Amino acid sequence: MKTRFVWCAAVFVGVAFLITGCAWGVVTDAETGEPIDGATVIYVDSAGAASAKLTGDSGLYRFDATEGDRIPGRGPATFVVLAPGYQVLRVERGLAYDDNDLGTWEIQNFELARLRTPTRTATPLPSSTLTATATLTPTRTRTPTPTATPTPTPTPTPTVTAAPTETPTATGTSQ
C-alpha cells in the first residue's frame, strides 16, 4: 500500500512538471547586444492574467510555474518591457510553449532601444518675444451678508453727586 502511494505521488509530480511551463528570455540593448540588468518585463495574457519580473545581471527574466510564478497562458499576450535609459517596448506575441520537445518552454527575447536625448540650442529668444500670460479663473466664495441686528444703545449711568454740607453755626450769645 505504501509503495503504491509513493508511486502515485511520483507520477503526479512528474505530470505536474510536464503540464507546468516556463516563459523566459533575455532583455538586451538593441545597439550593443549587451544584456540589460534591472529591466522590468510585464505580461498580460488573453485571459487577463498578469505578472512582472526583473532581469538579473545577465538580462535574464523567468516566469517559472515550478517556482510558484504565474505564467502567461497560451495564445496572444501583451508584453511591456521597460528599463531606465531605454524606450518602453510594448509588443503583442503569441505564446505556444513549443520551444522544446515537451511543449513546456516559451522563449521570448526582447531588444530595447536607448532613449535619445534631444539636442538643445543655445540661441536665446529675443526679449520682445518673451511674454507672460496668466489666466485667472474666477472662483466663488461665500461672503457673509450683513444681518439687521439692533445695535444696543448705551443706557445712561446715574451719577451721584454729593450736595455740599454746611456745618451748623450757633447764632446767638450765651451767657
d(CA 42, CA 51): 6
pLDDT at residue number 121: 60
Rounded mean pLDDT, 46-62: 96
- Selected residue with higher pLDDT from 75 and 6: 75
pLDDT, tens digit (0-9, with 9 covering 90-100), for 139-173:
444 555 555 555 565 555 555 555 555 555 555 55
**The pLDDT of residue 42 is above 90:** yes
A 10 A CB-CB count for 116 gives 7
The confidence score (pLDDT) of residue 152 equals: 60
pLDDT tens per residue, range 128-142: 544 444 444 454 445
Q: For residues 26 and 21, give the distance between their C-alpha atoms in angstroms, rounded to a whole number.
A: 17
- Over residues 80-97, the mean pLDDT reads 95
Confidence category of residue 7, pLDDT binned at 50, 70, 90: very low
**How much of the chain exceeds pLDDT 90, in percent?**
45
Query: 24 or 4, which is more confident?
Result: 24
Write out pLDDT tens, residues 66-82.
999 999 999 999 999 99
Does an H or E element contain 25, and which? strand 22-29
Q: What integer is the mean pLDDT of 28-35? A: 97
Tell me, which fold does domain 21-112 have in CATH?
Immunoglobulin-like (2.60.40)
How far from 166 is each of 169, 170, 171, CA to CA, in Å? 9, 12, 14
Q: What is the Cβ-side half-sphere exposure of residue 156, based on CA atoms within 13 angstroms?
A: 3
Ramachandran region of residue 128, left (φ > 0), alpha (ψ -120 to 50) or beta?
alpha
What pLDDT sits at residue 77? 95
- Average pLDDT (56-61) is 96
> Hey, where are the domains in the chain?
21-112
- Give the integer Cα–Cα distance in Å for 8 and 3: 9
